[in-house]
Structure 1
Amino acid sequence: MHHLTKCSLFLEFFLFESSPQPIAVGTGFTIQVINGTNYLITNWHNVTGKNAETGNSLSKNGHTDPEFMIVHFLKKDRINEWVKKKVYLIDENFNKLYLEHPRGKEIDVVAIKLPVYDDVDIHNCFDALTQQQFTKQVSDSCSIVGFPKGISTAGKLPIWKTGNIASELEIDHDERPMFLIDASTREGMSGSPVYCISKGETTFGDIVTMGHGTPTINFLGVYSGRIGTDIEIGRVFKESCIIEILRHHSHHPITQNRITSYTYIQR
């Protein structure tokens, strides 16, 4: 099984302890920082139930701020058995238990510190990435690994969907660390990791390679939904957002190596 398949997790969001059904479903993925702490990464709009652009409720019933989510983890040493874990999003005083970006909901990404579990495996998506960065540009294909309309395979394994990079990576879209993809994504995929996987000719700086025994993988960012409902253009917040969130809330080093090597244009 591909390592990155095991990193994307199915999320169900519940308004109250007594709620019989989730108010929404979504996708998250797991990373591990240098001190061994595990975090689940997903979208701000997933954990709040609010549109990150307007602040309005995403629910037809107007519900917002779910109390907790159920995360479907792979059972320890298994590839087709799952364990459900309850992860609280707010405490009894309605304080947030997730970490926001310094710019708040303007950056639709959050990190949630996970406890240590004895009965599940938490897979670090960084472990599958190629630390050396290869050249990526508009029209290159990308993979979005999540749960379109809540659909999963073989239990709660994610679906791999393919799209294309649709805007220049070096330039921030809408004055935020974000770029666009052209992909037939759907509800339920919000919070999915987005990767660029090269299996053929790959450029590392001035060096061009003609193929690899193992595909080279770079992390691109966090999928955050489509622009409108009638166009197949989606938003992806760049990997720098994750680094900025964790650095803002922690004094510990985050990763041994950078995830990607974009040059960001400061505005």
Structure 2
Amino acid sequence: MDQIDGETVRVSFESRAVCYIECIRKDENTGEVAYRSRASGFYWADVEQLYLITNRHNVTGLNPITGDPIGSFCPTFLRVWFNEHTGEKTGDCRYVKFVGRELSLFDKDERPTWFEHPSDPSVDVVAIRLDGYDWQERISVVNAKKAIPYSPMAGEDCFIVGYPEGLLGPGGTPIWKRASIATEPELDYDGRPVFLVDSLTRPGLSGAPVFARINGLWGQEGAQIEIGVGSPTPFGFWTNFLGIYAGREGDDKVGFQLARVWKKAVLDEIVSAKAIGKNPHD
């Protein structure tokens, strides 16, 4: 149970791990915000190291495939808002507050602070290492929750969890946008580790995690369902992380509703390689 805005409520683990992001560029002379856009992201951990995960185009302002500008600016900072456990408890209830922190996208030598895919610059995912923060008892990270051995298939539902058009739920919680899996997720779409989902998405969701919500009694298609002691078949529901949302296919804002999801395997590759990103200003 969480205490948010004075209320004792149940909040899903996944909602607590998602971040609202403002991508900003400051005026070099005044330090004031000159440009701003909205995005989503989430927390990920590798042993004791914490990372913020989002799309590469959110930190570069560039289309990762063509290299063309997506909007009118390249960000220099991120302002990240997230639900943090305060450490206070009342019985089984933990107090949570929606807090913000600012991250520079470049160090003092103008090197990017993000890691990107070591061999394929078109992978629209980055990991930003967060140092000097005692996060273990304060932050929910997506990969802290054990997945069940279930692989969804085309036609099943999933959820894009983020902040469309910067819309925040109560207490800063994200919006769960339902989608259906449109291509077989175990196959690569267009030769990349991507699958498509069918959903009318909006700007601001870029970088959002995508989850499958498995409900009731389940068994992989063609597999026998066993019930009893030692059986892997669960009742109720479970949520598995599938990948990272990264925008839509095509330019039609309404009629063309297929969106890209980068598979979770690319995230493991990025965190493992720790390849420093390329400066978009070079």
2:36 to 23, 31, 34: 23
Over alpha carbons, which structure has the higher Rg? Answer: 2
Corresponding residue for residue 50 of structure 1: 62
Deviations 1:93-129 (A, max 9, x none): 2211000101343100000111243589221112334
Corresponding residue for residue 112 of structure 2: 96
Residues 223 and 209 of structure 1: CA distance in aligned 2, closer, same or farther (over 3 Å): farther
Contact residue 72 and residue 82 of structure 1 kept, 8 A: yes
Shift of 1:23: 2.2
Q: Determine which structure has the larger strand proportion and give its number.
A: 2
2:46 to 8, 20, 33: 33
1:151 aligns with 2:167: yes
Give 3-state SS (helix, strand or coil) of 1:82's partner.
strand
Residues 135 and 20 of structure 1: CA distance in aligned 2, closer, same or farther (over 3 Å): closer
Corresponding residue for residue 263 of structure 2: 238
Corresponding residue for residue 238 of structure 2: 216
- Partners of 1:156 and 1:21 in 2: how far apart? 24
- Partners of 1:207 and 1:32 in 2: how far apart? 35
Corresponding residue for residue 190 of structure 2: 174
Corresponding residue for residue 192 of structure 1: 208
Residues 82 and 21 of structure 1: CA distance in aligned 2, closer, same or farther (over 3 Å): farther
User: Which residue identity lines up with residue 3 of structure 1 in the other structure?
Assistant: F
Contact residue 135 and residue 202 of structure 1 kept, 8 A: no
Aligned residues: 245
- Structure 1 unmatched runs, 5+: 251-267
TM-score of the aligned structures, taking structure 1 as reference length: 0.84
Corresponding residue for residue 20 of structure 2: 10
- Partners of 2:154 and 2:162 in 1: how far apart? 22
1:71 aligns with 2:89: no
- Partners of 1:195 and 1:141 in 2: how far apart? 9
Residues 79 and 228 of structure 1: CA distance in aligned 2, closer, same or farther (over 3 Å): farther
Corresponding residue for residue 106 of structure 1: 122
Deviations 1:133-183 (A, max 9, x none): 213110000011000011111142110011011001121111111110001
Moved more, 88-97 or 238-247: 88-97
- Structure 2 unmatched runs, 5+: 1-10, 87-93, 228-232, 276-282
- Partners of 2:126 and 2:224 in 1: how far apart? 36
Contact residue 133 and residue 204 of structure 1 kept, 8 A: no
TM-score of the aligned structures, taking structure 2 as reference length: 0.80
Corresponding residue for residue 141 of structure 2: 124
Tell me how large the CA RMSD over aligned residues is.
2.2
Consecutive aligned runs of 4 or more in structure 1 exceeding 6 Å deviation:
none
Contact residue 46 and residue 271 of structure 2 kept, 8 A: no
Residues 169 and 220 of structure 1: CA distance in aligned 2, closer, same or farther (over 3 Å): same
Contact residue 129 and residue 216 of structure 1 kept, 8 A: no
Give 3-state SS (helix, strand or coil) of 2:79's partner.
strand
User: Which residue identity lines up with residue 232 of structure 1 in the other structure?
Assistant: Q
Give 3-state SS (helix, strand or coil) of 2:81's partner.
strand
Residues 79 and 154 of structure 1: CA distance in aligned 2, closer, same or farther (over 3 Å): farther
User: Which residue identity lines up with residue 194 of structure 1 in the other structure?
Assistant: V
Shift of 1:214: 4.2
Deviations 1:175-233 (A, max 9, x none): 11111000111100000000111112322584536874441222110000001232110
In percent, how many aligned pairs have the same letter?
A: 33
Moved more, 50-59 or 23-32: 50-59
